[in-house]
Amino acid sequence: MNPLYPVVAQRALFMCEYCQAPQDGTATPLEIEHIRLTADKGTNDLNNLAIACRSCNQFKHKATVGMDPQTSMQVPLLDPRRDEWDEHFFYEPETFSVVGETPVGRATVARLQMNNPFQNAARRIWRAAGLPF
């Protein structure tokens, strides 16, 4: 395990910094991911590291930009070190969905496929179990 894992995970309150999945509600550990890849001049510095669930990390992959489905414009994805989650997203409890409110939020939801059937089913279970997300 990455020696920085405890610091990065605790800073994020053991929740995915993209979709807010709780560590206690996932079958695999949250993963450290580079917000900007080292191949693209990103660093291993704590300011370039985020904690992500397997789903968000897989769908984000190397991306730093995505298309806002409302405007069809390419915009930056959420940067957990610079952006406040609540400024870009809200949780819709009736549909168990994460909703993007801004171009950054909408592009991030779309690129990371935050509302795929598996994620929404997991949120339903987390809510029933009383887990934070």
Local confidence band at 42 (pLDDT 50, 70, 90 cut-offs) = confident
- Tell me what pLDDT residue 27 has: 84
Q: What is this structure's pTM?
A: 0.93
Beta-bridged to residue 99, according to DSSP, are 90
Instruction: Name the average pLDDT for the chain.
Output: 94
- Tell me what pLDDT residue 38 has: 79
**Alpha helix positions (H), 19-102:** 54-60, 85-88
Work out the average pLDDT over 96-122.
97
Domain ranges of the chain: 5-129
The upper half-sphere exposure of residue 30, i.e. CA atoms within 13 Å in the direction of its Cβ, equals 29
Query: Are 31 and 7 contacting, i.e. CB atoms less than 8 angstroms apart?
Result: no
Whose tokens are 């909703």? That residue is 99
- Tell me what pLDDT residue 24 has: 92
Q: Would the pLDDT of 82 be above 80? A: yes
Residue 83: which H helix or E strand, with range? none
What's the gap between Cα 87 and its chain centre? 14
